[in-house]
Amino acid sequence: MSGTLVGGSVIVGDPAEASQIHNKGSYGAPQSGGALKLELMEAIYLVESGRLKVTEGGSEIPAAELLRRGHRASEGFEVRYLVYREMRQRGYIVKTSSPPLDFRVFPRGGSPNKTPSRWWMAAISERSTFDLGDLLEHLDRTSDVRKNLLLAVVDEESDVTYYEVRRVVPRGRLGAVDLSSAHEALMMADRVLVDDDASAAALHGGHFFGKRIGPGLQLSLIEASFLVELGALKLRDAKTNKPVGLSALKKRARAVQPDFDLRLSAFKDMKGRGMVVKTGFKYGSHFRAYEGDPDKTHARYLVHAVPEEYTAMWPEVSRAVRLAHGVKKEILLGRVTKKEVEYVSLSRFRP
């Protein structure tokens, strides 16, 4: 079938050919008089598939030249085309979307005139910057119209990895921390020791704070700050036996952990949601979060506390998601703002 390149589009003028192309895959937009207007990306795919020949001034234009023209006309065109091509090869109908998102993807067997789109999709190069603020704007836009957001990240070998993005409201089953008595503890270099067996049992038995080491309990600086602020813990310096207040504790914590305040904000928020929160160091994250007893259940989430204006490179994000998937957990980015902590889930997805 033949089409003519006109500006940035391809026009299939023969009504019979136009109808055939449109009916088998919902390509293009029908025009008055029976013609069909194809977007350049659609035309390239059809040329590559051997279903269309595109000419200009009587000369045939190969798919590679069409791709080059698309690249010249629009930044990132080649990345978007790779995603479009793969989704078409997987049997999905794909239509371009209004910026900043790139595509609307319809379910197999569906069509734009009969079926709601399944995903709104952004095509991204692995070289680009992961910007959580932009991602949340995309997520809000898709949520407003009850669509799912899918990110298609294209690597340097032109393979595509897909990530499904969701907002998550984590919830646990624990009640409030017992504040009936304040327990004594000793401040050491980078942790806190509860050496009284009864106090250790009370703190660990209710909310699983710290780790039992013999008859005592060792708390992290984050756990200790949380408990001191609640009034459930009183500290003394292990060397001088002098009282250590909350401000002194936080000052020491910041010295050994510069992002301490960020992590503490996320920790406090998750504890307020009834969760058991433990270090995620073994899994390359800030926290692992349980919905119930960690001795009886596995952690559901790995949580990384991030600032409001968080950016990263995509390989870093990919590693975190892959690691969480490998240990059967869900990675959450806990975005700490002045008002709240909001949680975003990224998970690998195979369309």
pLDDT one-digit tens code per residue, 11-57: 999 999 999 999 999 999 999 999 999 999 999 999 999 999 999 99
* Mean pLDDT of the 226-240 span: 96
Is the predicted pLDDT of residue 212 greater than 90, yes or no? yes
pLDDT one-digit tens code per residue, 66-102: 999 999 999 999 999 999 999 999 999 999 998 889 9
Give the confidence band of 199 by pLDDT, cuts at 50, 70, 90: very high
Give the confidence band of 113 by pLDDT, cuts at 50, 70, 90: confident
Is the predicted pLDDT of residue 294 greater than 90, yes or no? yes
Range with the lowest mean pLDDT among 157-161, 177-181, 194-198?
A: 177-181
pLDDT one-digit tens code per residue, 246-261: 999 999 999 999 999 9
pLDDT at position 191 is 94
The side-by-side arrangement of strands in the sheet containing 36-39 is 29-30, 36-39, 9-12, 2-6, 53-56, 59-60
Residue with tokens 């990345």: 79
Is the predicted pLDDT of residue 328 greater than 90, yes or no? yes
Separation CA 170–CA 340 (nearest Å): 13
pTM: 0.89
- 45, 92, 162, 290: the active-site residue: 290
Three-state secondary-structure class, residue 214: coil
138 is catalytic: no
Q: Which residues contact 265 (CB under 8 A, 6 or more apart)?
A: 305, 336, 341
* Mean pLDDT of the 226-244 span: 96
Range with the lowest mean pLDDT among 26-30, 178-182, 185-189, 289-293?
A: 178-182
How does the average pLDDT of the chain come out, rounded? 95
| Percentage of the chain lying above the pLDDT 90 cut | 91
Task: Please name which of 313, 315, 318 lies closest in space to residue 331, comparing C-alpha atoms.
Answer: 318
Pairing outcome for strands 103-106 and 93-96: antiparallel
Is the predicted pLDDT of residue 109 greater than 90, yes or no? no
Give the confidence band of 179 by pLDDT, cuts at 50, 70, 90: confident
310 is catalytic: no
* Mean pLDDT of the 275-285 span: 95
pLDDT one-digit tens code per residue, 134-167: 999 999 999 888 899 999 999 999 999 999 999 9
Residue 157 amino acid letter: E
φ, ψ (nearest 5 deg) of residue 149: -100, 130
329 is catalytic: yes
- 53, 239, 298, 325: the active-site residue: 298
Residue 51 CA from chain centroid, whole number: 37
Contact of 41 with 48, CB cutoff 8 Å: no
**Structural domains of the chain ordered from first start:** 2-73 (3.40.1170.20), 77-168 (3.40.1350.150), 183-256 (3.40.1170.20), 260-349 (3.40.1350.10)
- 163, 278, 329, 343: the active-site residue: 329
